[in-house]
Structure 1
């Protein structure tokens, strides 16, 4: 929307860059949207909001000091991985003063990993997206075993062999809205209906198609797990939906030319993301690591590589 772009351009450059970094979690290069996202995170929890703030500032400043592309920095591309790293570490690890230093270090590393991935993937016109966040978070979550100052939190799944699904069943009608909105909110680890609604609002400010793809991804992340017999509690918490949300936005709005065909491809990608998430969850169970957004990253990469070989879809563009 024009009014949001005017506000975006009127902001001081450092603030605009930071807020764009938050917005880029949902592919939105807009400071107004980033501000809405950040406010939503603080509403969901002060610690999560503060961790995201520390993360986005650390990763952005690191990119600037390391001399990475100023255009990419200004677009917020070096901020969104740090935005995710902060809340992630505070969710899965026990809180301590040292954890703030841990977030800063992880956020800095996420910018370095992003720069490396951008260099590697540039010839193929494939985006690194949240892969730096995933790899950095995995490394820092595993590293806690070597440090006495950190310990795993109760949310982090304990290492163990995959077990048969329990608690499968249809989601009650009165829980559907909750499951859908939480599916959007869980992209940034927020277990809140209000946060999900604010996220969708922020996306809609930039693009109605983007918001529609996000909403459709949430629906896919509820309907498909029900049909496949997934755990009802996980569905209601939105834990099967946040990856399809990102996948459908990436394929159906951002990296392929928006059209009916790209929307159809996005739908297929969203459905397969659910299966990919279940498979990766079982694969990672023995080492006790969460899937994070890796199901989205892996599915998106495969679909964008495949789309470049098809006569029906244009080549993906790097964002």
Structure 2
């Protein structure tokens, strides 16, 4: 269950998962309960359905359920019993969706990433306003995309806050100290993971600023969290940690940052929640392209799909599971 929390950032470490759980509880005890409970429910459902034990032990059945439970807590009001019941049901459903997505993407030897969570979260946020017992906000969140406004100049305080919130926003948290704990959890599992995450966060800030994003959006971390995930995926998890893959990962991080407002605009009719769609789309695209670049994948273009080049996780079996092999 703790590894399910850690696998949100590709880590196979129960200690890092414990630190991630602590970060959630320091932000809000309700979100901590939803996140930890979601990881536990997803892991339990996978056990009952007979998912491969090595995949369950590595936490690979817990990270999508953790994110879906947190999503419901944030957008549907964590204090309502209806939200808790719906989140629990979604944690069970996302286990089924994960298996379906893994079966589909296995044809192309591609990882599932957080695609199951994105699919289910998107469906529920679109449908929620149609159900009065689920939607407590009143009215619709649909809105047309509008041009960015506000000052673009970044103060040192904004940059420091954005650097840490780019990590905390992966878990829907906007507290800088939650981001600091998450970064500590990354370094606890792997120094490489910690430094890659730092580079991804910095790239997200620089890209958003260079493109003229409002300073408020950069500072709250909503522009850069996908950049952190892309950097981790492309340098150390599915591609080996080398100078070439680091540059490739940072290019992917910049791409995900630019893609974030585009996805939000497309999803404006359902509230404009990008979730981790920019990460999923960018990472899958860059991983497919990497097979054509021997300097990134090595001389053999026929690398077995269940053997990533150099995962940040301590257990290579976890990386194999993330790639969808059961």
Larger RCO (alpha carbons 8 Å, 6+ apart): 2
TM-score using structure 2 length: 0.89
Q: How far apart are the structure 2 equivalents of 1:255 and 1:31?
A: 21
**Equivalent in the alignment of 1:121:** 105
Q: How far apart are the structure 2 equivalents of 1:310 and 1:60?
A: 36
**Equivalent in the alignment of 2:316:** none
Alignment partner of 2:267: what SS?
A: helix
Aligned ranges 1:211-226 → 2 under 5 Å: 211-226=194-209
Q: How far apart are the structure 1 equivalents of 2:177 and 2:119?
A: 29
Which whole-Å deviations, capped at 9, do the CAs of 1:109-141 have from their partners, x for residues lacking one? 111111111122224331101111111111122
Q: Offset at 1:289?
A: 3.9
**Equivalent in the alignment of 2:88:** 104
Aligned ranges 1:1-319 → 2 under 5 Å: 18-94=1-77, 95-151=79-135, 153=137, 158-314=141-297, 315=303, 317=308, 318=320, 319=322
Q: How far apart are the structure 1 equivalents of 2:6 and 2:120?
A: 20
Q: Offset at 1:68?
A: 1.4
Over 6 Å off, 4+ runs: none
RMSD: 1.7
Which whole-Å deviations, capped at 9, do the CAs of 1:214-261 have from their partners, x for residues lacking one? 111111121111111112211110111110000000001110011111
Alignment partner of 1:276: what SS?
A: helix
Unpaired segments of 5 or more residues in structure 1? 1-17
Q: How far apart are the structure 1 equivalents of 2:220 and 2:140?
A: 16
Q: How far apart are the structure 2 equivalents of 1:228 and 1:201?
A: 30
Q: How far apart are the structure 1 equivalents of 2:114 and 2:290?
A: 20
Relative to 1, partners in 2 of residues 1:56 and 1:153: Cα closer, same or farther, differing over 3 Å? Answer: farther
Contact 1:138-1:289 at 8 Å conserved across structures: no
TM-score using structure 1 length: 0.90
Q: Offset at 1:157?
A: 9.0
Give the stretch that moved more between structures: 73-82 or 213-222: 213-222
Q: Offset at 1:142?
A: 2.1
- The number of equivalent residue pairs is 301
